[in-house]
Amino acid sequence: MRPLAYLITWGTYGTRLHGDPRGTVDRKNNERGTAIVTTDLLRLQHEKSRLKFPPVRLTREQRLSLEAMFPKICERGKWGFLACAVAPDHVHLLVTSPFDPGTIRRLAKRWSGEAMFERFPTDAFETW
């Protein structure tokens, strides 16, 4: 059976690194029922050292703009838009779709990032 909807979540650049005390999900621990990655200060420092740009925290204007963009982004992907919530450091997107959630997440991140660069051009960082 296909799920009724998908809750797709992702963080802004550099704000939710592996080893963070809040816990994360990585490529090895991403199936339902697997444990989250717990606090690991060495891993967190390593992740921070790999950042190419400062972490991105969205302003209120950027969050509202991004929320307004998602119905069109979902239309482009042929996903049924149900809801979204954009916080300073992460995004939640609730959609219906026959497509796999990994593809939805990848495209939603790409297309929303492209739309943000168009709306908020900047040289300060290379990725949202």
- pLDDT value at 125 more than 70: no
What mean pLDDT do residues 80-104 have?
96
Average model confidence (pLDDT) across the chain: 91
Q: Choose among 97, 67, 85, 112: nearest CA to 9.
A: 85
CATH fold group of domain 6-119 = Alpha-Beta Plaits (3.30.70)
Within 10 angstroms of residue 97's Cβ, the number of other Cβ atoms is 19
Please identify which residue in the block is written with the tokens 């606090």.
39
The per-residue pLDDT for range 18-76, each reduced to its tens digit, is 888 988 877 777 778 878 888 889 999 999 999 998 899 999 999 999 999 999 999 99
- For residue 38, CA distances in Å to 10, 17, 102, 125 come to 18, 11, 23, 28
| Residue 24 and residue 44 in contact, taking contact as beta carbons nearer than 8 Å | no
pTM: 0.85
Per-domain residue ranges of the chain: 6-119
Nearest CA among 49, 33, 37, 25 for reference residue 102: 25
pLDDT for position 75? 98
The predicted pLDDT at position 127 comes to 77
